[in-house]
Structure 1
Amino acid sequence: MTELKLAKLPDRTPVKITITVSPELNQALRQYAEIYRATYGAAESVADLIPFMLGAFLDSDKGFAKARKSITDEMFSAESAPRTERRRKSAVPEPSSISA
């Protein structure tokens, strides 16, 4: 298989999520959208702002970043283990160990 400098691109299919919020949160989100419009001179809907707000929240959560890195490191270390090591962990016996 050819190795390219650019890795395979990630899935970029948008995912629609529907949520229900309290009246107080809805009011705060509308106020945020209005302050955003006043600040930047561009009106954006609450629905358009929420993904960026969530992204900013996740990016600023140090505990989440640390836990996510730990999980990712564990996945990569398991993937980079030698093939024989990965096979030993499998519940399926190796073909050579099956008696006929």
Structure 2
Amino acid sequence: MSKLKLAGLQDDTPVKLTLELSAEVHRDLTLYAQVLAEAEGQAFTPPQLVGPMLSRFMATDRSFISAKVKR
């Protein structure tokens, strides 16, 4: 099995957000949660993945990192 970009999710205190996703993104997020649950042996829901996915995205975006360092 290929390694997923999300693994070892931490239990952090959440901040509540309300957002809308396209049906396609929601289906993919649901499937990702299922695949991750199989890989980690622990159940995940789509809302639990949004924060870690955004965090991972920002942590690997070189332009964002550069802009963040300048602030």
TM-score (norm 2): 0.76
Point out the structure with max Rg over C-alpha.
1
- The one-character-per-residue Cα deviations of 1:38-83 (angstroms, maximum 9, x if unpaired) are 111111111111111111111011100001111x2xxxxxxxxxxx
- Show structure 2 runs of 5+ residues with no match: 1-12
- Matched residue, 2:54: 54
Number of matched residues? 59
TM-score (norm 1): 0.55
Question: Structure 1 runs of 4+ off > 6 angstroms?
Answer: none
The share of aligned pairs that are identical, in percent, is 32
Taking CA–CA contacts closer than 8 Å with sequence separation of 6 or more, which of the two structures ends up with the larger relative contact order?
2
- Show structure 1 runs of 5+ residues with no match: 1-12, 73-100
Q: Give RMSD over aligned pairs.
A: 1.4
